[in-house]
Amino acid sequence: MKELLRAAFVQFEKNQIATADAEILLAHLLGVSRKQIHSQGIELAEDGREKISAEYADLINQRLMGRPVQYITGSAAFRYLDLAVGEGVLIPRPESELIVDRVIGVLNNASDKDLAKAVIDLGAGSGALCIAIASEASLKGLKVSVVAVEKSADAALWLNKNIAKYDLPIRVVVEDVESALIDVKADLVVANPPYIPDDERLPAEVANFEPEIALRGGAVDGMAAPKQFIKAAARLLKPGGFFIMEHHEKQGELVRQAMAVEFSSVQTHADLTGRDRFTSATKR
């Protein structure tokens, strides 16, 4: 096993790919944790070693071709979750986890927190946000009913798969945010819209593999899609309802201006690297 890893490390370092990916791929292939692949307890017969070597070489080649490690393994970590992902759905990013912290904090600090709250996730993708919110709220004894809105049929397949995996009563609506849930009102809305400007250059593994529909927010400033999501949130929220949306680090001021039309207490929040990545507000 160590020889396989060393050879993979050399190839990945040469191609500026994180060597941790080589460990993740081997652990996935062996059905063990990354820590376990360094133990002395994994022994394979000769024919087993040959089979693993051939399969590992295939996974390494896929990664060298730019395919994201999450698509290769079919799995992406998000908070305490292990989400199924693949072509057609955006890979959840660690920075999005901060939205969950904010929402759980709002739910927990509500004066009427014993009452069930309606939560809508706009552009739900793999279900990272809505599943994390539903599961963590339940662990804290907070009552929520959750609806996930996703217009991409391809992404909705992964969304439904993940909801089923965690056995959560999340309703899925496959529709555009502009027309979804007419006459429905919610207490909280979360959103991670496409927001990257159309002409912004992306890493090859993102541009060539992840769905453009989940990435590109529009021409020039990338705000076309975020504005649609803000408008939808304003329509869906009850007066006093809470809204939080992820956005590009350069869009903070533009998002605040767009939200100010129908929201109060508009505030932009930084991610763990100090970049302005989220804006929250209260529906007037």
- In the chain the beta strands, taken as DSSP E runs, fall at 75-78, 81-84, 117-122, 144-149, 171-173, 186-191, 196-197, 216-218, 237-246, 263-270, 276-283
**Contacts with 66 (C-beta within 8 Å, 6 or more apart), sequence order:** 204, 205, 208, 209
Pairing between strand 117-122 and 186-191? parallel
| Inter-residue contact 104 to 142 (CB < 8 Å) | yes
**Contacts with 272 (C-beta within 8 Å, 6 or more apart), sequence order:** 95, 98
Choose among 197, 225, 202, 134: nearest CA to 233.
225
Q: How far apart are CA 102 and CA 106, in angstroms?
A: 6
Q: Which stretches of the chain score pLDDT less than 70?
A: 40-47
240 in helix, strand or coil?
strand
Residue with tokens 């072509």: 87
Quote the pLDDT of residue 33: 86
What are residue 283's DSSP bridge partners?
A: 263
